[in-house]
């Protein structure tokens, strides 16, 4: 009797608390594992929103076959870029398109357009391309600021590493104010350092903040092997905002200066002096107005050195690069105090910067 009573009790308990099958447990576990953190959800949404704004850039050079007399397009490089405006302007690195005879821009949906170069600044490693694409295809990336970036804030990189389709990598701002050499040898200052993965093919793509705003253009990595090692650099967006309108309008970046040409540093070094040595003073320049003197040679062949610029607003000038950097972020009309040496005597003059 007791045995039947126990069996009945167990049946009643089983009905009250039905068992969960293995399949149901597995399904429950899967559902739990698919629950995303709010930060993940935001990052996924940003990638889906901004991917259509990032492009893959292919360039090729034309070569002539001397036997068949045919011309072939030989692939010579690839990189990334992004939509700047609704007029079809695309931003990328100058080194991505350098030497190209033909450039193609491909979107995430694989639509491809032939592009032409409208402006370049090799000193800043920036090029502006133009494509003839429908307005609805052009989705400019929101532009932020690099002026108030903080070390440690999050970064996102979207691009085409190794020619792969749109890829996302994340990291932080590792350092600010870095300098690297451009393809011309000129220094690009105020570079952003990030540990977000940047590999060959990412060049020219956007560096974004956690809100999806453009804060830089990926440009270079430090790597003995040529691939990602955790140290990448991006040109700050404040530099991009300053030079891109000029590249679109004029095809080049207008110079700001005092209107002088300088003797190359290598020649000046042989003389054994420091500073920016004036070779010529441009006619009607602000330098001419204050009486700066260039280097001259008399009919006997004797050379008389021009003025040697040694400081700008109290900051030491040791080379031509120092002088260029001292005025790069200023505008025409600004006045600077220039100290220079003429015939072993130090002089100074207030000179207005000009555009040329």
How many Cα atoms are found within 13 Å in the side-chain-facing hemisphere of 203?
23
Cα distance between residue 64 and residue 67, in whole Å: 9
E strand or H helix at 260, and its extent? strand 260-262
Residues 6+ apart with CB under 8 A from 209: 144, 149, 153, 154, 155, 156, 215
Given 121, 174, 182, 203, the catalytic residue: 203
- Longest distance between any two alpha carbons in the chain, whole Å: 135
Kindly report the number of other CB atoms within 10 A of residue 38's CB atom.
7
Residue 180 · residue 191 · CB < 8 Å:
yes
Q: Give the pair of three-digit tokens for residue 335.
A: 């006045």
Given 60, 89, 95, 285, the catalytic residue: 95
Q: Give the pair of three-digit tokens for residue 289.
A: 């107005």
- 95 classed as catalytic: yes
- 124 classed as catalytic: no
- 89 classed as catalytic: no
Given 125, 209, 238, 322, the catalytic residue: 125
Residue 168 · residue 44 · CB < 8 Å:
no
φ/ψ region of 106 (left if φ > 0, alpha if ψ in -120 to 50, else beta) reads beta
Q: Which residues are catalytic?
A: 95, 125, 203
């Amino acid at each position: 009797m007791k045995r039947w009573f126990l069996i009945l009790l167990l049946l009643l308990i089983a009905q009250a608390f039905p068992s969960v099958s293995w399949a149901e447990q597995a399904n429950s576990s899967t559902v739990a594992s698919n629950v995303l953190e709010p930060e993940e959800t935001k990052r996924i949404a940003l990638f889906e929103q901004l991917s259509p704004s990032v492009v893959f850039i292919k360039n090729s050079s034309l070569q002539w076959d001397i036997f068949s007399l045919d011309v072939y397009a030989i692939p010579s490089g690839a990189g990334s870029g992004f939509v700047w405006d609704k007029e079809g302007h695309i931003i990328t690195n100058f080194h991505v398109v350098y030497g190209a005879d033909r450039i193609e821009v491909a979107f995430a949906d694989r639509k491809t357009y032939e592009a032409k170069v409208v402006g370049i600044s090799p000193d800043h490693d920036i090029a502006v391309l133009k494509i003839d694409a429908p307005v609805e295809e052009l989705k400019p990336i929101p532009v932020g600021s690099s002026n108030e970036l903080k070390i440690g804030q999050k970064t996102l990189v979207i691009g085409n590493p190794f020619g792969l389709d749109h890829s996302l990598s994340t990291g932080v701002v590792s350092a600010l104010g870095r300098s690297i050499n451009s393809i011309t040898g000129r220094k690009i200052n105020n570079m952003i350092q990030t540990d977000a993965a940047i590999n060959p093919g990412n060049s020219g793509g956007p560096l974004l903040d956690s809100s999806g705003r453009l804060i830089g253009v990926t440009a270079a990595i430090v790597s003995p092997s040529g691939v990602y090692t955790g140290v990448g650099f991006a040109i700050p967006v404040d530099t991009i905002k300053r030079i891109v309108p000029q590249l679109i309008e004029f095809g080049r970046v207008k110079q700001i200066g005092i209107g002088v040409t300088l003797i190359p540093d290598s020649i000046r070094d042989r003389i054994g002096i420091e500073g920016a040595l004036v070779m010529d003073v441009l006619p009607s320049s602000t330098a001419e107005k204050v009486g700066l003197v260039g280097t001259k040679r008399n009919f006997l062949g004797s050379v008389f050195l021009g003025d040697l610029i040694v400081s700008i607003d109290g900051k030491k000038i040791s080379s031509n690069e120092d002088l260029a950097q001292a005025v790069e972020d200023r505008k025409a009309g600004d006045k600077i105090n220039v100290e220079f040496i003429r015939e072993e005597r130090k002089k100074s003059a207030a000179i207005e910067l000009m555009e040329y």
